[in-house]
Amino acid sequence: MNVVFLCAGYGTRLYPLTERQPKSLLPIAGEAVLTHLLKKLKFLSSVDRVILVSNDRFYEHLSKWQETLQGKWVVCVVNDGTSDNEHRLGAIRDLKLALEREDSDMDVLVLAGDNLFDSSLESFVSFAQSKKPAASVGVYDVKDQMLARKYGLIQTDSSGKITAFFEKPKDPPTTLASMGVYFFPKETLYYLDQYLETNRNPDAPGFYISWLAQKTDVFAYRFSGAWFDIGDLNSYEKANRHFEGHLRKPDT
């Protein structure tokens, strides 16, 4: 299994914190967001390689972070060549770029570099592997309709199969938010080319999931614990307080 971190965004809503560094390297309880996410991979036995997609502006920052790592995998940092928010490739094109650079025919676990959660990834990957060749998406119940307006939302049937996707709706029909955690079996990867060839939205992954659910089965896995979509200063501060609180507990 390959793991792809999508970290090519520009974090404009987090200015001034992200004017000179990527939001995936913002410190949370003393460690970069990416470092927290990378630690979760240690408990997965099926990881073959780790690929990180950066933009050109922050490529050196992420390469220097990669050089400090001491772990079982070498993180391959891929530069998508863009230098500003207006010309970004978008998450789906970045994912395709990562897979082309590595030229590998394996299942893919995709993680957004600005989403942080305190649950492990083991249960999600086990669930996703049990659903193959269907794809799987991590979801989190925000349990608040006003809050749900901020996110891409997932609707499922009783089996957990995704039946609809809503991008930041004004009147949310569900409070299940897509977390930026995806599992794509190798059998589904050719759909990326089909999607991009139709000139559909290459940026928000939810649009791809909505399209993919019409082509093949896609299942939702509900994460528990806490989840933070670090998109603005308020969510960043909440995430920092939460994880600092965990560090202060005697048993952690």
User: Does the residue 172 lie in any domain?
Assistant: no
Instruction: Decide the pairing of beta strands 2-7 and 75-79.
Output: unpaired
Question: How many independent structural domains does the chain possess?
Answer: 1
CATH of the domain at 73: 3.90.550.10
d(CA 118, CA 228): 9
User: Does the residue 227 lie in any domain?
Assistant: no
User: Does the residue 117 lie in any domain?
Assistant: yes
User: Does the residue 146 lie in any domain?
Assistant: no
Question: How much of the chain, in percent, has pLDDT values that exceed 90?
Answer: 71
User: Does the residue 230 lie in any domain?
Assistant: no
Q: Which domain holds residue 63?
A: 2-138+179-221
The whole-number pLDDT of residue 45 equals 83
DSSP secondary structure of 91-135: HHHHHHHHHHHHT--S-EEEEETTEEESS-SHHHHHHHHHHTTSE
Tens digit of each residue's pLDDT (9 = 90 or more) over 10-47: 888 889 988 899 999 999 999 999 999 999 998 898 88
User: Does the residue 231 lie in any domain?
Assistant: no
User: Does the residue 158 lie in any domain?
Assistant: no
Tens digit of each residue's pLDDT (9 = 90 or more) over 58-86: 999 999 999 988 777 788 999 999 988 88
Which tokens in the block code for residue 209?
A: 């999931």
Ranges assigned E (strand) in the chain: 2-7, 27-28, 31-32, 49-54, 75-79, 108-112, 115-117, 135-141, 152-156, 162-167, 176-184, 218-222, 227-229
User: Does the residue 74 lie in any domain?
Assistant: yes
